[in-house]
Amino acid sequence: MAASFAEGRPSRRILLKVSGEGFSREGETSLDTEQARLLAEQLKTLTHQGVEVACVIGGGNILRGGQAKQYGLARATADYMGMLATVINGLALCDALEAFGQPARVMSAIDVHKVCEPFIRRRAIRHLEKGRVVILVGGLGSPFFTTDTTAAQRGAELDCDLLMKLTMVDGVYDRDPKKHEDAVLFKDLTYEQVLQRQLRVMDQTAFAMCRENDLPIVVFNMHEPEGVVRVAQGERVGTLIQG
Ligand code: UDP
């Protein structure tokens, strides 16, 4: 079902993509559970407002497949390690949510049944309907993909009406804002404009999937106060991309 973002209209079900860097202090690697707690607080508020929340978790704070050479690893091995890294972050978020009294379930695309459930679409939807935050880990379960692609795929599969991508900058710019002081932030973009201008929003597979499924994307700064809650309420924050 095609979705659209309209200012002032709250979301019904969101897919939140949280990169591994959302689980570590700025500029650091490894895990900082305080970051998970800050996010968990917002997710609890959202579910209390009746918004269903599914999160796809990244693992880049621990390891990315792209670092295979650096570690002398085969690419596929490093990818599986990256997928396992997302499990670690996802468990930290689940723990933080439960500490706030917010029910949550971790569902994995790779088999780690001692620590979380397998991802089963119908079961995930059931959890969402019951007001549980669904934390999706293990990516798509296959090497050579990213958790951005996972977010796009699960967003479509779970019939979410919005994909939120948290980043370290305020949204999508015409140039890298970390290198160019005069970089211009876009407020609105269509999928076509992103392709024509060759803007980097997410990897190509992920972006193509959002476009094909009319899944609107909002890109905004993970340090934006109450950003996740505000966007889900229909407030314009960061950059909105839709058809
Ligand atoms: N990964 C994978 N298949 C997937 C999802 C992730 O192989 O379906 C691996 C890949 O190596 C990736 C790592 O897991 O680099 C961590 O995910 P990602 O880099 O997307 O995390 P983020 O950048 O969001 O922290």
Give the model confidence (pLDDT) of 108-140 as tens digits.
Answer: 999 999 999 999 999 999 999 999 999 999 999
Ligand 1 nearest atom to the CA of residue 60, by list position: 25
Q: Does 213 contact ligand 1 (Cβ within 6 A)? A: no
Give the model confidence (pLDDT) of 187-225 as tens digits.
Answer: 999 999 999 999 999 999 999 999 999 999 999 999 999
d(CA 165, CA 87): 19
Only one residue has tokens 């935050």, namely: 133
Give the H or E element holding residue 56.
strand 52-57
Q: Does 24 contact ligand 1 (Cβ within 6 A)? A: no
Whole-model pTM: value is 0.96
- SS3 for 113? coil
- Ligand 1 pocket: which of 147, 148, 202 to mutate (most atoms within 8 A of CB): 147
Burial of residue 92 (number of CB atoms within 10 Å: 0-12, 13-18, 19+): buried
Domains in the chain (CATH in brackets) are 13-241 (3.40.1160.10)
Phi-psi region of 171 (alpha: psi -120 to 50; beta: other; left: phi over 0): left
- Ligand 1 pocket: which of 56, 83, 149, 200 to mutate (most atoms within 8 A of CB): 83
Instruction: Tell me what pLDDT residue 30 has.
Output: 82
Which residues of the chain carry a pLDDT beneath 50?
Answer: none
Type of residue at 92? A
Q: Does 227 contact ligand 1 (Cβ within 6 A)? A: no
Instruction: Tell me what pLDDT residue 25 has.
Output: 83
Instruction: Tell me what pLDDT residue 28 has.
Output: 76
Q: In sequence order, what DSSP letters do the residues of 5-52 get, joined into one string?
A: --TTPPPSEEEEEE-GGGGS-TT--S--HHHHHHHHHHHHHHHHTT-E
Q: Does 59 contact ligand 1 (Cβ within 6 A)? A: yes
Q: Does 31 contact ligand 1 (Cβ within 6 A)? A: no
Instruction: Tell me what pLDDT residue 2 has.
Output: 60
- Cα of 135 vs centre of ligand 1, distance in Å, is 15
Are the C-beta atoms of 163 and 15 separated by less than 8 Å?
A: yes
Q: 239 - beta bridge partners?
A: 219
d(CA 62, CA 135): 18
